[in-house]
Structure 1
Amino acid sequence: MDIKPIIDLNPSTYARHAIHGEERIWAETNCYVDVLVELIHSLGYDPVAGLAFTLSVDFEEDQWTFFKYPPGDLLELYGLDIQELNPWKNLVEHVANQVHAAKPVLVELDSYFLPDTAGSAYKQEHVKSTVAVNAIDINKKFMGYFHGQGYYELNGDDFDNIFQLNGLVHERMLPPYIELVKTRGQDQSKLFEKSLVTFERHIQLMPELNPFEKFKLQFEQDLKWLLNAELEAFHKYSFASLRQYGACFELSLTYLQWLQQHGKNGLDDAAITACRSISETAKAFQFQLARSIMRKKPLNLEPLENMASQWLILKSTLRNTI
C-alpha cells in the first residue's frame, strides 16, 4: 500500500518559506518556530501573519524567551488546534495513529538520527529537536517530516533508531514531549484583521522593564566565567541568549513589514529600523563574543547598550499605534 502523507510533498522539489531564505540575517530561528513556519506554509497559510508573539519576548533571568507561536494565536489565525499527546504506548504507534488520521505530530527527536542535520548533529551529537511528522509507514520504516528550514524523509536504520525500536536506551527512558495538530480550517479573508488583534495583544504584553538592561547586568556576571570557558559553552550560551533574541527580532522585523504592506495605520518606520538594528547587532555581537572567548580578551559591551536603546524606541513606537 502506498504511503499517504497528510500534505503531498517531495523533499527534492520542496519550496521553503521566505523566512528561511538565503538573504536572512539568521538562517534559523528555533526548532519549534522553524517547523511551524514550514507546516503553516505547506498547509497554504501565511506564517508571517502569526508573528506578533515575537514582540513580547523578555529576558528570563538566565535565558531569553524561547519564543513560540502561542496555541491561541494558531487557532485564531489558522484554525490549527495544538493538543498535547499522552505517550501511554510506543512513540512510533502514537505518531502513526495521529498521522494516519491526518493530524501532523510535533515531537522531540534526536538529531543524531535525522539525516537532514548531516554536517552538524547527524551521527555526531545527540541533540533533541522538534520535527513535524507528515507521513509515516512503520512496516516500510519510512517517515516524512518538517525540520529546520525544510521538508525531509528518512528510512531504514535511521527510522529504527529515531524511534528507539532496537533497544538503544533503557526501559525507563522518559518519552519525548508530543503534540498533535488538528487542522480545523479557517477563513483567511480576515487574516489581516485577526492578525491586528494579536498585534495589539502582544504589544500590551511587552516587558515593563527593558529586557536588554536586565540582560546586560546578567551578561556582565556571566562574562567572568565565559571568557575562561571552552567554545562549547559559548555555543550553548549564545543559543539561549544572543541567537534567540537576534532571530526573534528579525521575525519581528518581517512581521512589521508585513503589517505595513497590508496597510496598518500609524506604523512608523522607526519600529522596523529598531528591529533590524537589534537583529543585526546581535549577530555581530555573537561573533565578537566568540572571538573574545577564543582569545581570552575583554569584550566591549556598548552593543548591548545600543540594543537597549533600540528596544525602547520599538516599544514606544508600537505603543503609539494602539
Structure 2
Amino acid sequence: MLKILDIQPESYVRHKIHLQERDWAETNCYVDVWIELLHALKLDPMPAMAFSLTPDFEGDQWTFFKFQLNDLYDLYGLEVQELVIWKSLLENLAEQVAMGRPVLVELDSMFLPDTAGTAYHEAHVKSTVAINLLDIENKRLGYFHAQGYYELSGNDFDEVFALPEANTKMVLAPYVEFVKTHQMVKRSDDELRSIARKKVTRQLKQLPDTNPFKKFQQRFEKDFTWLLEQPTEKFHEYAFVTFRQFGACFEVAANFIEWLEGKTEHSSKLIELYKHLSNITKVYQFQLARALARKKMVDLKVFDELAATWEEARSLLIESFSQSN
C-alpha cells in the first residue's frame, strides 16, 4: 500500500471554506481539490486565491478559474509538473505516489462514490482528483475530490483505471500532474500576505478591459432561445460553464479579500460587492431554470445590476491596491 498522508475519510475534517454556509457549495473540480490538498498538507489555501479577482467572459463560457502554479511555488514551495503517461496509468501513478508526491489526475465520476446522487454509476463526467493512497493489491484508492477526502475500491477501482477485467476501455490517457513537496515551506501569515499582495498587483494587469457582463449579456440573449429547445441536461452544462463559474469565483474573491485585508473600510465594501455578485447569480440561475422549464422568457435586467456591481468592484480593487502598493 502506498500512502502519502496518514488520514482517513471518516475522520478527515474539511477546510472551513467547505464547511461554512455558502452560495456555491462547490467551485470547480480543480479549485476544490487544491483547497483540500493544501489543507491536508497543513497549508492555508487562501493566500493563493488572487486568481479569483480576474474572471472574464471567454466567448461561449466564463474563465475556468484555477490555482496558478507559480503562486503555489512562490507561496508554499510546491512544484507542479505534468506527468507523461507512457506505461499504464496505474503504473505511472504508483511511481509518483511511492515517492511521496500527490498526483492530480482526471478520472471518471461514474466510478467516484462521493458523487452518489449525481454522476456515480449514472453519467460519465470528467473530474480532477488528488491521489493520496494507492493500494493496487487490495484495489483501494484514497483521493481528494470536491469537498473532502474519500476512498473507492473493488469494481470501481477496476473501472476507473480501465483494468483488463473492467468494462471501461481507456482510449486516451488523461491529463495528469504531480506535486513535488521536497521544497515545501510553511510561512507565517505576515509572509503569506506580503506575497499575496504582490500577486494581486499582477492580477490587476489581467483585469478585463471590457465589462465581461456586458459581453455575456449579448451572448446570453442569443443562447436563451437555443436553450429553450435543449434538454435539461444541456442547461446544467451551460450553467456550469457560465453562472456557476463566475458566481463561485466571485464568492471565492470575497473570501480572499477578507483573508488578505480584514474588515477595513475599503475591503468591507469590496467584500460586499463580490458577495453580491455571487448571491444574485445563484438566485438568477434558479429563476432561469424555472423559466426554461416553463418555456418563458427570463428577465434580463439582472445583467445591468451585475455589470454595474462589477464596475464598482473593479474600480475599488484598483484604488485599494494602487494605494497599498
TM-score (norm 2): 0.95
Counterparts of 1:101 and 1:168, CA distance in 2: 31
Question: Are residues 1:281 and 2:296 paired?
Answer: no
AA aligned to 1:289 is: L
Unmatched segments (≥5 aa) in structure 2 = none
User: What's the counterpart of residue 56 of structure 2?
Assistant: 58
Contact 1:227 1:292 in 2 (8 A): no
CA deviations over 1:68-96 (Å, ceiling 9, x no partner): 00111111111111100111110011111
Report the 3-state secondary structure (helix = DSSP H, G, I; strand = E; otherwise coil) of the residue aligned with 2:3: coil
Contact 1:25 1:279 in 2 (8 A): yes
Of 139, 148, 163 in structure 2, the residue corresponding to residue 150 of structure 1 is 148
Counterparts of 2:280 and 2:297, CA distance in 1: 18
AA aligned to 1:185 is: M
Contact 2:4 2:132 in 1 (8 A): yes
Assess, with a 3 A threshold, how the Cα gap between structure 1 residues 118 and 187 changes in structure 2: closer, same or farther: closer
Counterparts of 2:103 and 2:266, CA distance in 1: 37
CA deviations over 1:142-199 (Å, ceiling 9, x no partner): 111001000001111111111000253456x011000001112124121111111111
Q: CA deviation at 1:233?
A: 1.3
Q: CA deviation at 1:202?
A: 0.9
User: What's the counterpart of residue 228 of structure 1?
Assistant: 229
Counterparts of 1:107 and 1:249, CA distance in 2: 26
Counterparts of 2:259 and 2:318, CA distance in 1: 18
Of 107, 130, 139 in structure 1, the residue corresponding to residue 128 of structure 2 is 130
Counterparts of 1:46 and 1:266, CA distance in 2: 25
Counterparts of 1:125 and 1:170, CA distance in 2: 15
Question: Are residues 1:251 and 2:252 paired?
Answer: yes
CA deviations over 1:182-231 (Å, ceiling 9, x no partner): 11212412111111111111122111111111101100110111122221
Question: Are residues 1:32 and 2:33 paired?
Answer: no
CA deviations over 1:58-115 (Å, ceiling 9, x no partner): 0000000000001111111111111001111100111111011000000000111111
Contact 1:50 1:73 in 2 (8 A): yes
Question: Are residues 1:23 and 2:21 paired?
Answer: yes
AA aligned to 2:275 is: R
Contact 1:103 1:182 in 2 (8 A): yes
AA aligned to 1:153 is: E
Of 116, 119, 123 in structure 1, the residue corresponding to residue 117 of structure 2 is 119
Counterparts of 2:121 and 2:244, CA distance in 1: 24
AA aligned to 1:216 is: Q
Assess, with a 3 A threshold, how the Cα gap between structure 1 residues 33 and 267 changes in structure 2: closer, same or farther: same
User: What's the counterpart of residue 196 of structure 1?
Assistant: 197
Contact 1:270 1:313 in 2 (8 A): no
Counterparts of 2:70 and 2:59, CA distance in 1: 26
Report the 3-state secondary structure (helix = DSSP H, G, I; strand = E; otherwise coil) of the residue aligned with 1:320: helix
Unmatched segments (≥5 aa) in structure 1 = none
TM-score (norm 1): 0.95
Contact 1:63 1:240 in 2 (8 A): yes
Residues 1-322 of structure 1 mapped to structure 2, 5 A cutoff: 3-165=1-163, 166-170=165-169, 173-183=171-181, 184-189=183-188, 190-261=191-262, 267-321=266-320, 322=322
Matched residues, percent identical? 48
Counterparts of 2:4 and 2:168, CA distance in 1: 30
Q: CA RMSD in A?
A: 1.4
Counterparts of 1:221 and 1:39, CA distance in 2: 40
- Aligned pair count reads 317
AA aligned to 1:297 is: K
